[in-house]
Structure 1
Amino acid sequence: MKHPLALVALACLSCNTYADIFSVFREADGSTKWQYVANTTASILIPTLVIVLVFMVRAHWRAVRSNRALTDIKATLEDRVAHRTAELQEREAYITSIVNSMPVMLIGLNQQLQITQWNKKAEEVTGRPLKDVVGKNLWEAYSSITLTEAQVLSVLESGETMIIKHAQPGQYSFDITLYPLDKQDDTGIVILISDVTKQVNAENKLAERDKVSAMGELASAMVYDISLPINSIFARVSSARQELEAADLGEVKGFLLSEVEAVRQSAQQATAIAQNLLELASSHRETKQLEAVPPIMDHSIELASQLFKDADGLAFKQINIRRNYAANLPNIPCFPAELAQVFVRLMRNAFYALNAKSWDDNNKPWINIEIGEFYDSLWIKLAHNGKCLSEDEQLDIFQPFFAMNSHPETCPVEQRLSYSYFIITHHHRGQMAVTSDEQNGTCFNIQLALG
């Protein structure tokens, strides 16, 4: 359209500027032939308009084709965006499903330690849904988490993964893993909290079973080896006693017979100790039994009477045993043989503490045993008036003994009750403690669950 208009303009300019452009339309008398002007103008304008119309129609069809192309491109882009959005939504749903199906707590934090991710396990453990905690500070949303802000910040700064093990012996075990995400993102850090209590308990049970098996084999061999010299001692002592009774030795005869009797009792005590060692090695079972505790305690007292004798001091039978059992005590799930060993060990500790003191008619040794029910627990107290434990001994008495120890020994290995503590806290999920002072004596406290 621009080209014809330019040609018309150029033709107009090419006319002589000094001539009258209407001279061809004038008569000789100077009048204008307006009809000719109109016809000439129409003949010029009509082709021009036709040309303009052609170009306008052409431009219109080009616009229509362009609009159709743009519409097709728009539809294609919309399809691609919709398809891509659906893929992203599907992937997001898949990732969300994975995160929520994880059997561990997953917590996501940004650089400001605000919660960005909180899976279903975290909701179950804390009781708080994602909408209530998102955007909040971790310790504001989950105050009982066993992590410090310094630990989280150290992982963010170092960029290294940190694994923390948190456990309460006999109660629970957790593995806490902290790892930072790509520093190009503002996603910060991810915290995984895994409850490995069952796994740790299973591993401990397997290790205990192996140890018990090895201990049983060792105890059986020891009992057999000890029995040989003890049987020989019994035979020689019996023979010597018969000869002494038949011989006429005067005043020395009574002394010799008493010495022989002491040897015989010591040999009998050694036999009881060996047999108890064998029972201890074979006492552990896989499942608990419902048993009453008072009969187990009475059996332990009888066993202690056979085991603990001192030729130069007390015999366990000479100690005043006070029994105070509550009525109608319920049976509890337990390992009876193991509880008996715990009670015997406590009586052994009391026996040697009582032997460490001097007694007279006004001050006699005693052991006080109480068994009662308190709410959902069974309480067992064994107290005595023997030598008290020092503060250091009270701290160490339940700790395992190690031959290579960096600090001075405060409680001798033969007085420690670490295995008894292990039986109560691990095998029976109970509690065990000790108190000791000069005024009230020493008291061992045991708490066992009723169910």
Structure 2
Amino acid sequence: MHRPEKSTKSQHPTLLRTTYAGALLLTPNLCQASMASELDFGFWTLLALAALQAVMIGLLQKSRIKYKRARNALEQAKANLETRIEERTESLRYTNNQLSDAAARHEIAEELLRETQDYLHSIINSMPSVLIGVSRAGHITLWNAAAERLIGISSKAALGNTIDDVYPELVISQATIEAAIDSQIPQTLENLQQGSGNQASYSDITVYPLMALEMGGAVIRIDDVTLRVRVEHMMIQNEKMLSLGELAAGMAHEINNPLAAILNNVQNIIRRTDAKQTMNKVEAEKLNVDLDQLDRYWQHRDIPTFLNHIREAGERSARIVSNMLEFSRSQHRDQSPTDIIQLLDNSLDLATHSMQIDTGDDIELPKIEKNYDANLPSLTCSAIEIQQVILNLLRNAFQAFQQTEYGAPLNPTIRVATYKDNDWYCIEIADNGPGMQENVRRHIFEPFFTTKDVGQGTGLGLSVSYFIITEHHGGQISVESQPGKGTTFIIKLPMR
């Protein structure tokens, strides 16, 4: 745009000169003829041209100034625009950075939220207690892993459904849930039993209201307290046994006195009715009594036999009382050389008096078969503990004959045997009872495992026996059993 202005400014004088020279060349003769008039005309023409040139120069100068101002204004506008663009760009960059930071913080917050949720879910699912969240209307909002294991329904299938549809066996009613939410006081039910026998389990159920009142829900917590209940039953049973032991010891002392009197009197009767005794003959002659005739009468009426039965029964009762007293008094567990065969006989005497079996037609005792190896030496052990184990096994054999689902055994027999197996002193106690299923046999030595009804056994007899043999004596105890073929317990004690 500057170049056209410079070209126009520089061509005006040349054009005037060219025009003027042309005019002179075209009219050479006229110039000579009218020199004076032409001079006047040329002067005014030059003057006009000069004025025109001055006007044009002024216009051009004005246009240039205007252009310069416009260019300066344009450059200023351009600078302002660039500044504004830079400011806007900087603002956009700042806003973009803020959005990026906000997006990053949001992603971090989401990640932390996910981690927190995963952590809370991990805590909830790691708890052994069953946790079930419910709304006021009874719809399930939480279902942890323990609930899945107990009830067998996945969390996905349970959520959103009502608790009555998913877990109808739950003893907590909708009214209890609403009462806990309204009162903001937990509602608890303790020692609830499910099942019976060795399948029985116990639970504590508590409904905790949510503290956020606007949510209006609750959490149901179910705790398996089977072990606690069984321990409580065991403690009660132990207290009964302790009381019974003290009572039995006291009764044994009381029974010993009349037993001693009975035995002494029986011996006196036998001695004073003996026709061979000199003193008896003398006293009979004083009373004019024919002692030989009286003796024949007694023999004819089997009175000596009756007296011998009385004496044998009294002596057996005395042995039972003596064993009971020894069993109840023995608190120490020192190991000493023990005659195992004598210990087995004492245990049988102590146990068989309570082994009466009702076969339906009669009351009888199980047949006892003894198969002892008489060449076995004494065994160093705790006699009272081994006797406790033997009594437990004998009692289990006796109870096996009384299982009504199998009926009365045709020939109830308990076999007791001792023998040597390498360096082991072996004791076997076998019965021909109904036997055990494999799923029962596998758990027979576990604490609190029992097939009896609640209150009829603690499930500790065999587990205690296992502990005595394995831990206190370094031995082994095992069981062999098949349904319908009886059960055999094998005790192995080291011969040292």
AA aligned opposite 1:108 = G
Corresponding residue to 1:153 among 170, 175, 178:
178
Q: Distance in 1 between matches of 2:435 and 2:267?
A: 52
| Aligned match of 1:125 | 150
Quick check: 93-102 or 217-226, which moved more? 217-226
Gaps spanning 5+ residues in structure 1: where? Answer: 1-32, 283-297, 309-315, 326-333, 347-367, 378-419, 430-447
Q: Distance in 2 between matches of 1:272 and 1:421?
A: 33
Q: Distance in 1 between matches of 2:167 and 2:395?
A: 40
AA aligned opposite 1:200 = V
Q: Distance in 2 between matches of 1:130 and 1:262?
A: 77
Report deviation, 1:133.
1.0
| Aligned match of 2:188 | 163
Q: Distance in 2 between matches of 1:56 and 1:421?
A: 97
**TM alignment of 1:299-338, pairs within 5 A:** 303=353, 321=362, 335-338=392-395
**TM alignment of 1:16-415, pairs within 5 A:** 48-165=73-190, 166-168=192-194, 170=197, 171-186=200-215, 188-209=217-238, 211-213=240-242, 215-240=244-269, 242-243=271-272, 246=280, 264=310, 271=318, 274=321, 303=353, 321=362, 335-339=392-396, 369=408
Q: Distance in 2 between matches of 1:186 and 1:62?
A: 50
Q: Distance in 2 between matches of 1:241 and 1:299?
A: 26
- Deviation digits for residues 400-441 of structure 1, max 9, x if unmatched? xxxxxxxxxxxxxxxxxxxx9767465499xxxxxxxxxxxx
- Deviation digits for residues 23-52 of structure 1, max 9, x if unmatched? xxxxxxxxxx99999789767755554444
Report deviation, 1:140.
1.0
Q: Distance in 2 between matches of 1:178 and 1:160?
A: 9
Report deviation, 1:202.
3.8
Q: Distance in 2 between matches of 1:59 and 1:422?
A: 91
Does the 8 Å CA contact 2:132/2:220 hold for their aligned counterparts? Answer: yes
- Deviation digits for residues 364-420 of structure 1, max 9, x if unmatched? xxxx9457869969xxxxxxxxxxxxxxxxxxxxxxxxxxxxxxxxxxxxxxxxxx9
| Aligned match of 1:382 | none
Report deviation, 1:119.
1.3
Cα–Cα, structure 1 residues 302 and 117, in superposed 2: closer, same or farther, change >3 Å? closer
- Deviation digits for residues 280-304 of structure 1, max 9, x if unmatched? 979xxxxxxxxxxxxxxx9999736
Q: Distance in 2 between matches of 1:187 and 1:206?
A: 42
Report deviation, 1:235.
0.7
Report deviation, 1:214.
5.1
Does the 8 Å CA contact 1:105/1:122 hold for their aligned counterparts? Answer: yes
What secondary structure is seen at the aligned counterpart in 2 of 1:121?
A: helix
Cα–Cα, structure 1 residues 144 and 281, in superposed 2: closer, same or farther, change >3 Å? farther
Report deviation, 1:268.
6.7
Q: TM-score, normalised by structure 2?
A: 0.47
Does the 8 Å CA contact 1:304/1:344 hold for their aligned counterparts? Answer: no
Percent of aligned positions with the same letter in both sequences?
21
Report deviation, 1:99.
1.1
Does the 8 Å CA contact 1:180/1:188 hold for their aligned counterparts? Answer: yes
AA aligned opposite 1:188 = G
What secondary structure is seen at the aligned counterpart in 1 of 2:353?
A: helix
Report deviation, 1:190.
1.0
Does the 8 Å CA contact 1:321/1:369 hold for their aligned counterparts? Answer: no
Report deviation, 1:76.
1.8
- Deviation digits for residues 253-297 of structure 1, max 9, x if unmatched? 989x89x96995896796588479669979xxxxxxxxxxxxxxx
Q: Distance in 1 between matches of 2:221 and 2:174?
A: 16
Structure with the larger helix share: 2
Cα–Cα, structure 1 residues 423 and 52, in superposed 2: closer, same or farther, change >3 Å? closer
What secondary structure is seen at the aligned counterpart in 2 of 1:109?
A: strand
Report deviation, 1:175.
1.5
